[in-house]
């Protein structure tokens, strides 16, 4: 029986690993499979005491232990929106290195969450749900929206945000305006495909109209340095509100909190199993 791994990029923040574990448990309940939460990097820096006494798993040591114990088949289900270098380079290079030491073994990597060109309409539905729920909770009309992601040096990853932004525009009320933003981008015109940083976008919107609230639609899966309580996005929203009295910026819940994500992951797991 192949081992099933739910893979994220990893974070040094405990909330990120705890959220990954919750998703792995929910996916296991949904599919009946044993799902192991494993990060690519960073999570091994978190003290076990901050993780209910159980250290986080990262991919290389996890695979080394599993291979040494005789396992030879693995499903990897990526918690990644687009075709990042984790999928195109990091994991293939690691697998090649391990095969040189441990001999042949089988790895199947399921598609990312929003594989283009077909995309994943359920993610757009999920984002629309979060936008409408945030508007209802704040008793505001969703008239101005910003879809924000981490930002990437890879155009194909940013293309996922653009694809989702267009699908969300088709779902929101006519007359509402949705802008895209990133949390990180490299300097130089060759990275202009990322668009503007969230701080600049919010300040521009607040300067143009400080009275109409902005809903910040979060294209983030779990809490981390940027997303969640105490993250950079919360600080950027607070700074824009301080600079423009009366302005409001309201982040939506994270993608990982929506039950539709489990259905998407369950389909990815089933597809990976059928390839073996």
CATH of residue 176's domain is 3.40.50.1400
205 lies in the same domain as 133: yes
Domain that includes residue 265, residue range:
3-114+258-275
Model's pTM, two decimal places?
A: 0.95
Q: Do 101 and 133 have their domain in common?
A: no
- Residue 270: predicted pLDDT: 85
Is the same domain home to 199 and 239?
yes
Distance in angstroms (rounded) separating the CA atoms of residues 249 and 252 = 10
Residues 81 and 133 in one domain: no
What phi and psi values does residue 222 have, to the nearest 5 degrees? -150, 165
Same domain for 126 and 174? yes
Q: Are residues 162 and 220 both part of a single domain? A: yes
Q: Do both 147 and 251 map to the same domain? A: yes
The residue among 154, 222, 150, 209 whose CA lies nearest residue 180 is 150
- pLDDT above 70 (res 174): yes
Rounded alpha-carbon distances, angstroms, from residue 231 to 92, 204, 226, 243: 31, 21, 5, 19
C-alpha pair distances (Å), 60 with each of 41, 98, 160, 201, 214: 9, 9, 28, 38, 41
Among 264, 259, 236, 250, smallest CA distance to 131 is for 250
pLDDT grade for 272, boundaries at 50, 70 and 90: low
Per-residue pLDDT reduced to its tens digit, 187-208: 999 999 999 999 999 999 999 9
Asked if 114 and 264 count as a contact pair (C-beta separation under 8 A), the reply is: no
- pLDDT score of 104 more than 90: yes
CA 64 – CA 242 distance, rounded (Å): 50
* Span 27-70, pLDDT tens digits: 999 999 999 999 999 999 999 999 999 999 999 999 999 999 99
Do 222 and 154 sit in the same domain of this protein?
yes
User: Could you report the per-residue pLDDT of 108-165, keeping only the tens digit for each?
Assistant: 999 999 999 999 999 999 999 999 999 999 999 999 999 999 999 999 999 999 999 9
Report helix, strand or coil for 3: strand
Quote the CA–CA distance of 144 and 274 in Å, as a whole number. Answer: 43
**pLDDT at 1 (0 to 100):** 82
Question: What does the alpha-carbon distance between residue 68 and residue 189 come to, in Å, rounded to a whole number?
Answer: 47
Total structural domains in the chain? 2
Q: Are residues 141 and 231 in the same domain?
A: yes
Residues 246 and 169 in one domain: yes
Q: What is the pLDDT of residue 276?
A: 45
Please tell me whether residues 234 and 267 are part of one structural domain: no
Say whether both 173 and 271 belong to one domain. Answer: no
């Amino acid at each position: 029986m192949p081992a099933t791994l739910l893979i994220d990029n990893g974070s040094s923040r405990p909330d990120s690993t705890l959220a990954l574990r919750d998703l792995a448990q929910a996916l296991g309940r949904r599919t009946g499979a044993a799902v192991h939460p494993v990060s690519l990097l960073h999570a091994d820096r978190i003290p076990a005491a901050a993780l209910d006494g159980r250290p986080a798993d990262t991919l290389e040591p996890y695979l080394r232990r599993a291979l040494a114990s005789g396992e030879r088949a693995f499903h990897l289900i990526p918690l990644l929106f687009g075709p990042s270098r984790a999928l195109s380079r990091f994991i293939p290079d690691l697998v090649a290195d391990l095969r040189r030491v441990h001999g042949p073994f089988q790895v199947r990597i399921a598609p990312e969450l929003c594989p283009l060109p077909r995309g994943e309409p359920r993610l757009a539905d999920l984002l629309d749900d979060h936008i409408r729920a945030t508007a209802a909770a704040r008793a505001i009309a969703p008239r101005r929206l910003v879809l924000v992601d981490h930002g990437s040096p890879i155009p194909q990853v940013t293309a996922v945000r653009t694809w989702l932004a267009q699908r969300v525009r088709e779902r929101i009320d006519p007359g509402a305006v949705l802008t895209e933003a990133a949390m990180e981008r490299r300097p130089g015109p060759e990275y202009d495909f990322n668009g503007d940083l969230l701080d600049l976008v919010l300040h521009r919107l607040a300067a143009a109209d400080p009275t109409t609230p902005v809903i910040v639609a979060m294209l983030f899966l779990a809490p981390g340095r940027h997303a969640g309580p105490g993250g950079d996005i919360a600080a950027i929203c607070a700074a824009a509100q301080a600079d423009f009295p009366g302005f409001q910026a309201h982040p939506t819940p994270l993608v990982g909190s929506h039950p539709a994500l489990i259905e998407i992951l369950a389909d990815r797991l089933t597809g990976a199993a059928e390839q073996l």
